Structure 1
Amino acid sequence: MPRFAANLSMMYTEHDFLDRFAAAAADGFRAVEYLFPYEYPAEEIARRLREHGLTQALFNLPPGDWAAGERGVAALPGREAEFAESVQQALRYALATGCRRLHVMAGRVPEGADRDAMRRTYVANLRHAAQQLAPHGITALIEPINTRDMPGYFLNFQQQAHEVVAEVGATNLKVQMDLYHCQIMEGDLLMRLQRHLTGVGHLQIAGVPHRHEPDTGEVNYRWLFDEIDALGYDGYIGCEYRPRGATSAGLGWFAPYKDVQS
C-alpha cells in the first residue's frame, strides 16, 4: 500500500506553518514534506517532527530570490558560490530533521541564455551537491516541472531529467517524478513509470488540471496507486496539492490508506 507525505506548504494552510505538523499527524499522515523550512529554526522543526511521530520525507534547497520570481539557481552560470552555500544550508536542516531527500531546483532560463552553458553548470552543480550529501546518506533529486505552472523552468520532461542524472553519474542523484507535472507535459503515466521508476527517488501527486485533491480531475489515481505498488515502489508519495477547502474535509481519498502509513 502506498505511503503518503502531506505537503505542508500547500496543505493545512488554515493553520500556521508550525501547527501543520500536528494537523497532519491527527489526520493519519506519518510523513510530511514542504518547499522551504528556512524561515524557522531547524531545531524547532525537528521538535515538531519528534512530538508528532512524523518522518521528514523531502524539502527543497533554497531557491534564490523567490519573491523576484527565481525558482532555483543550480543551472544558472555565475551563481555557483551561492549554490554551494545553499547546499550547506539545506544540509544543516536535513541533518537536524533526519531528512534523506533534498530537491535541487534548476531555475528559470533567462532571456537570451545559452542553454548549453546552463546544462554544463547544472551538471557541475549537481555533482557538487551529490558529493556533499553522499557522506550523510542523503539523495539529491531533480524534478521536471510543467511550463504552465512555472514558465521558463529549465527542466520539463522525464527523459530529459534522467539524461541529466546519467551525465552527472552520482548514485545519490535521482528524479523526483511529480505525476501532476508529468500528466500536463507528457501523459502516458503508467508507461513512463514503468520506463523510469528505477531512477525515481520520490513521487508526488495532485489532481489534474486544477492541482486539487487526487480524487478530482482526469487522472485515476486509485488505479495508478495499485500499479505503483505492483512496480515495487516503496518510497513516499508527496501530496503536493491545493485543497479545494479545509484540508481535513478533503481527505476522503486518503481513507483507504490511512491505517497503513507506518
Structure 2
Amino acid sequence: MKRRLFIKKTTATASLLGIGITGINAMNILHPNKTTNLSNMFKLNYAPHLGMFKNHAGNDPIDQLNFMADQGFTAFEDNGMKGRALETQEKMAKTMSDRNMTMGVFVAHKIYWKEPNLASGDIDKRKEFLNEIKESVEVAKRVNAKWMTVVPGHVDLRQNIHYQTAHVIETLKQASAILEPHNLTMVLEPLNFRNHPGLFLSESPQAYQICKAVNSPSCKILFDIYHQQIQEGNLIPNIDNCWDEIAYFQIGDNPGRNEPTTGEINYKNVFKHIHSKGFKGVLGMEHGNSISGKEGELSVINAYKESDSF
C-alpha cells in the first residue's frame, strides 16, 4: 500500500525538506492508526479535496481518502463528484463511511459564468437548473452528501437588479421544494468580484436576504472565507450577522488562495470564533498548496494543526 510506504518514509522526507515534525505531529503522521485517536485531532471538520495530497497518496481517489483520514481529517469535499463514474462514487462513499468521514459539497449544476441564467427569469434556463437539482439528489444519496453548491450565475445587464433577485428567489423556492423531502440543502456561494467579475451573487448580506426570502431549510449560505475577505472583509461580524443562514464554510487565505498562515487572514481567530458558536458542519479546504510536492503537502497539514490550536 502506498500509505504504508509513506509512513515508513515520512521521517526521512521531513528531514530532507527541513520541516520540523515533532511530538504530537510526528506521532500523527508517522503512525496514524496506532497510538493516537485521530478522530479528535482537529476541533473542526476540515475537508480536503482530491489532488491536495497526491504526492504522498498517489492518484487513486481511494488512497487519497485514506491518507486524509490517516492525518486526522474527518470530512471531504469534491466539486466534481457529480461527473465521476457511478462505480467511483460508490467506492468513494464506502471508503468515507468506513473511515467515518463526512461528505461535503459537490457542485449541483452547470454554472453560467458569462451569461445570465437564474437572474434572467428565462423559463427554459429555470427548467434546466431544476432538472439538474433533481439529478443531484440521486448523487447526494449515493455518496451520503447533505449539501450541494449552487451559484446563481451571471447578472442580466438588461434587467433591474430587483427583478433579477425576484427571479432567483422564485427558482430557488422551486429547487427547495425538490430538496426538502430528502433533507438536502443547496448552499449559495457568493463569489468575489476580482476572480469572478459579473456574477449575480457576490456578498454575504445579499445571500442572507435571498435565503430569508426563500425561507427553506434546503436553501442556505456557503460562506467562503477567501471570497468574502476580498469582497467585503469584516469577516467575523459578517459571519455573526449571517449565522442563522450559514450551513457550510470554505477556506482559502488571501492573497494567493492557499492554505491558512500563508496570507493576511487570521485563521486561528476565525476558526476559534466558528468553533465557539458550536458549528458542527464542514469547512471545505477549497484552496491550493503554497509549496509544490511533498513538502507543500506537509505544510498544509501543519498549517491546519497550527490554525486549529486555539
Q: Same fold (TM over 0.5)?
A: yes
- For residues 33-72 of structure 1, what are the structure 2 equivalents within 5 Å? 33-52=77-96, 53=99, 54-64=101-111, 69-70=113-114
Q: 1:6 aligns with which of 25, 33, 48?
A: 48
- Displacement of 1:136: 0.9
Contact in 2 for aligned 1:208/1:219 (Cα 8 Å) = yes
Gaps of 5+ in 1: none
- For residues 153-164 of structure 1, what are the structure 2 equivalents within 5 Å? 153-164=199-210
| Partner secondary structure for residue 167 of structure 1 | helix
Question: Is 1:242 matched up with 2:288?
Answer: yes
* More deviation, 78-87/112-121: 112-121
Work out the CA distance in 2 between the residues paired with 1:257 and 1:180. Answer: 15
CA gap of 1:193–1:64, structure 2 versus 1, over 3 A, is: closer
Q: 1:91 aligns with which of 113, 129, 137?
A: 137
Contact in 2 for aligned 1:71/1:105 (Cα 8 Å) = no
- Corresponding residue number in structure 1 for 2:187: 141
* More deviation, 191-200/50-59: 50-59
Cα-Cα RMSD: 2.5
- Displacement of 1:75: 3.1
Contact in 2 for aligned 1:74/1:105 (Cα 8 Å) = no
* More deviation, 23-32/215-224: 23-32
- Displacement of 1:43: 4.1
Answer 1 or 2: higher relative contact order, Cα 8 Å, separation at least 6: 1
| Partner secondary structure for residue 58 of structure 1 | coil
Work out the CA distance in 1 between the residues paired with 2:222 and 2:144. Answer: 19
- Displacement of 1:194: 1.9
- Corresponding residue number in structure 2 for 1:29: 73
| Partner secondary structure for residue 171 of structure 2 | helix
Amino acid at match of 2:274: I
- Corresponding residue number in structure 2 for 1:18: 61
- Corresponding residue number in structure 2 for 1:187: 233
Contact in 1 for aligned 2:105/2:149 (Cα 8 Å) = yes
Work out the CA distance in 2 between the residues paired with 1:88 and 1:254. Answer: 35
- For residues 65-80 of structure 1, what are the structure 2 equivalents within 5 Å? 69-70=113-114, 73-78=117-122, 79-80=125-126
Q: 1:203 aligns with which of 242, 249, 271?
A: 249
Runs of 4 or more off by more than 6 Å in structure 1?
Answer: none
Percent of aligned pairs with the same amino acid? 24
* More deviation, 19-28/92-101: 19-28
Q: 2:304 aligns with which of 236, 254, 258?
A: 254
Question: Is 1:132 matched up with 2:178?
Answer: yes
The number of aligned residues is 255
* More deviation, 93-102/75-84: 75-84
CA radius of gyration, larger in: 2
Contact in 2 for aligned 1:64/1:70 (Cα 8 Å) = no
Amino acid at match of 1:143: E
CA gap of 1:76–1:7, structure 2 versus 1, over 3 A, is: farther
Q: Which has the higher strand share?
A: 1
| Partner secondary structure for residue 83 of structure 2 | coil
- Displacement of 1:121: 2.1
Contact in 1 for aligned 2:92/2:143 (Cα 8 Å) = no
What TM-score does the superposition give when structure 1 sets the normalisation length?
0.87
Work out the CA distance in 2 between the residues paired with 1:153 and 1:13. Answer: 32
* Residue-by-residue CA offset, 1:60-91 (whole Å, 9 max, x unaligned): 112246xxx45894334320111111101111
Gaps of 5+ in 2: 1-42
Work out the CA distance in 1 between the residues paired with 2:115 and 2:93. Answer: 27
| Partner secondary structure for residue 103 of structure 1 | strand
* Residue-by-residue CA offset, 1:148-167 (whole Å, 9 max, x unaligned): 11111111111111100111
Q: 1:232 aligns with which of 253, 278, 293?
A: 278
* Residue-by-residue CA offset, 1:201-250 (whole Å, 9 max, x unaligned): 00111111210111111111012211111122121111111112235222
